[in-house]
Amino acid sequence: MQRATIAPDRPSTREQLLTLLKKSEGLTADQLARMLGITSMAVRKHLAVLERDGLVTTSLLRRKVGRPARLYRLSERADALFPQHYDAVLTELLSDLASLDGPAKVDLLLRRRVERTGQTLARELAALPTLRERVRRLAETLDALGYYTTWEELDGETYRLCQYHCPIREVAVHFPVTCDAEVELYRGLLRADVERQCRLAAGAPCCCYVIRPIAVSPADAHAAS
């Protein structure tokens, strides 16, 4: 399931609650209700859902007069709902590294990252005997890693795999070696011919790959027999 993010232009009540809590050290339901101009009961219903989803934590606020109140704060998990700039920061750091030590050093670092990802994926695919099973498992594993991946069988021997999200898209825009290393990785993991048709970093809606069995020349087939 795709995680929702805060939309500052037309925020919902839920998003307004999250934003108010983000800008505070903790607020009660009554305080939030006054700030939003809605009833405390309505606020508590929203807070109950946010707490259920692990986005809000509560503690007791003891007061001089009256019963203790529940104080609501955002959880660490809620941080991911707000704008992040890690991709841009990483791109700047890599650009600085390229200026200091040359682009080859950056290429090496990015290829090593892809290789580490490949080690995880290899464990998922190593024992699968057919190309179809390997494509399916690769798509499932990438999807679990946040690449929002789909796959389909075009015919008995050809498959299409599409990734609709890239966690380091900004990096890939400035350093295409990331995408090239990914194609090489998939060829090795799938033990197949992998052709990239489009990529997110170039403005396409997804990174799309067509996958086919490796063509065997007559000479190779004769040698194998």
Q: Does the pLDDT of residue 221 top 70, yes or no?
A: no
State the sign of the Cα–Cα–Cα–Cα dihedral 53, 57, 60, 63.
Answer: negative
- Residue 10 burial (CB count, 10 A): 6
Mean pLDDT confidence for 98-107: 89
Q: Does the pLDDT of residue 223 top 60, yes or no?
A: no
Domain ranges across the chain: 13-81, 86-218
**E-assigned strand segments in the chain:** 56-61, 69-74, 149-153, 159-163, 193-198, 207-212
- The two structure tokens encoding residue 86: 């890690």
Task: Output 73 or 87, whichever has higher pLDDT.
Answer: 73
Structure confidence at residue 87 as a pLDDT band (50, 70, 90): confident
What's the pLDDT tens digit per position in 7-53? Answer: 444 568 888 999 899 888 889 999 999 999 999 999 999 999 999 99
What's the pLDDT tens digit per position in 112-166? Answer: 888 888 888 888 898 899 999 999 999 999 988 888 999 999 988 899 999 998 8
188 exposure class (CB count in 10 Å sphere: 0-12, 13-18, 19+): middle
Task: Output 78 or 162, whichever has higher pLDDT.
Answer: 162
HEC letters along 16-66: HHHHHHHCCCCECHHHHHHHHCCCHHHHHHHHHHHHHCCCEEEEEECCCCC
Q: Which fold has domain 13-81?
A: Arc Repressor Mutant, subunit A (1.10.10)
Q: Which fold has domain 86-218?
A: Muramoyl-pentapeptide Carboxypeptidase; domain 2 (3.30.1380)
pTM higher than 0.85, yes or no?
no
Three-state secondary-structure class, residue 98: helix
Rounded Cα gap, residues 52 and 55, in angstroms: 8
Q: What is the mean pLDDT of the chain?
A: 86
